[in-house]
């Protein structure tokens, strides 16, 4: 995983995301998901660009299902932006404008 991306798990999600003082972008993904791999470079770029202002993490839903279920993730990739423990933005699926859409969601949360 890229240096500025948090590897999220069912164990650390609460502390790293829900109790975070910084807005946090969470990519719910799986290794077998081609659209997830397609947006991965955009997620990595955002992690670098927003370092110090927002957190960026990835949660592999095959290994950590608790929070995917809790937040109603039905298809992947699903990207949620959290602030103050609440979802303040979301994007489902992948497209060529994913980075711009996600940057806009982060900007609104900061």
Catalytically annotated residues:
33, 36
Residue of 77, 85, 79, 95 lying closest to 29 (CA atoms): 77
What is the residue whose two structure tokens read 């299902």? 65
Residue of 13, 30, 25 lying closest to 75 (CA atoms): 30
Pairing of strands 55-60, 24-29: parallel
CA dist., res. 3 & res. 75, Å (int): 26
Q: Report helix, strand or coil for 93.
A: coil
């Amino acid at each position: 995983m890229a240096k500025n991306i948090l590897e999220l798990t069912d164990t650390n999600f609460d502390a790293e995301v829900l109790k975070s003082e910084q807005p946090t972008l969470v990519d719910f993904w799986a290794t077998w998901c081609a659209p997830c791999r397609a947006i991965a470079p955009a997620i990595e770029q955002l992690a670098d660009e927003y370092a110090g202002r927002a957190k960026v993490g990835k949660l592999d839903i095959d290994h950590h299902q608790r929070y995917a279920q809790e937040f109603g993730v039905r298809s992947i990739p699903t990207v949620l932006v959290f602030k103050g423990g609440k979802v303040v933005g979301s994007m489902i699926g992948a497209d060529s404008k994913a980075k711009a859409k996600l940057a806009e969601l982060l900007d609104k949360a900061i």
